Amino acid sequence: MKIHFRKIANADEPLQLHETVDVSRVVKGRKDILAVAPLSVDLKALPAGADCVNVVGKLSGEVDMLCSRCLTEVKRPMNVPFAETFKWLKQPVLPDDEDEELIYIKDESVDLIPYVEENFVLHLPDSVLCKAECLGLCQKCGQNLNEGTCSCDNTVIDPRFAGLKDFFK
Ligand SMILES: [Zn+2]
Ligand SMILES: [Zn+2]
């Protein structure tokens, strides 16, 4: 998924980019993510001043995650906006007036995939709940309390064990 600075500068119309990207690799480290659908990438690249190209659009997909309280599977749609400006540097030295909004590229073309992946990862939820009022699991017997009560005495729950947060560490 490459864009070429010179081609875009000389084009009459914005370059449309539509691609499906396999992002399973970038979620490998996440134990709470069971699966990730191929990411549908819809971007538009257009010239934005001297040696600059604007790339805007959206990334859409879906992740299967585990509810952080009861560990049931939750499908979460992902709609991630994408907006980056790339500047062709032409020489391998950053200018003195470096603009933090820009991504400087020393080659004449740039592969967008790493930036797509990065934006996707940044928008992944840290955790999900199957529902806001999820009751979680019994700390003693593991019963899913959304599905029914158990016979354990849970009247006093040590707050240190109230969450399953540590499970994911
Ligand atoms: Zn839950
Ligand atoms: Zn129980």
d(CA 51, CA 161): 55
- The pLDDT value recorded for residue 22 is 96
Please report, for residues 53, 112, 151, the alpha-carbon distance to residue 14 in angstroms, rounded to integers and kept in the order given.
10, 16, 64
The pTM of this model reads 0.81
The number of the ligand nearest the C-alpha atom of 74 reads: 1
Number of Cβ atoms within 10 Å of the Cβ of 160: 7
- The pLDDT value recorded for residue 103 is 93
* Between residues 93 and 63, the one the model is more confident about: 63
Q: Is the pLDDT of residue 160 over 90?
A: no
Q: Give residue 153 CA to ligand 2 midpoint distance, Å.
A: 7
Coil vs helix vs strand at 10: helix
Contact 75/62 with Cβ under 8 angstroms? yes
Q: Is the pLDDT of residue 39 over 80?
A: yes
**Domain definitions of the chain by residue range:** 2-132, 135-169
- The pLDDT value recorded for residue 34 is 95
Q: Give residue 137 CA to ligand 2 midpoint distance, Å.
A: 8
- pLDDT tens, residue by residue, 131-146: 999 999 998 999 999 9
The number of the ligand nearest the C-alpha atom of 72 reads: 1
- The pLDDT value recorded for residue 97 is 78
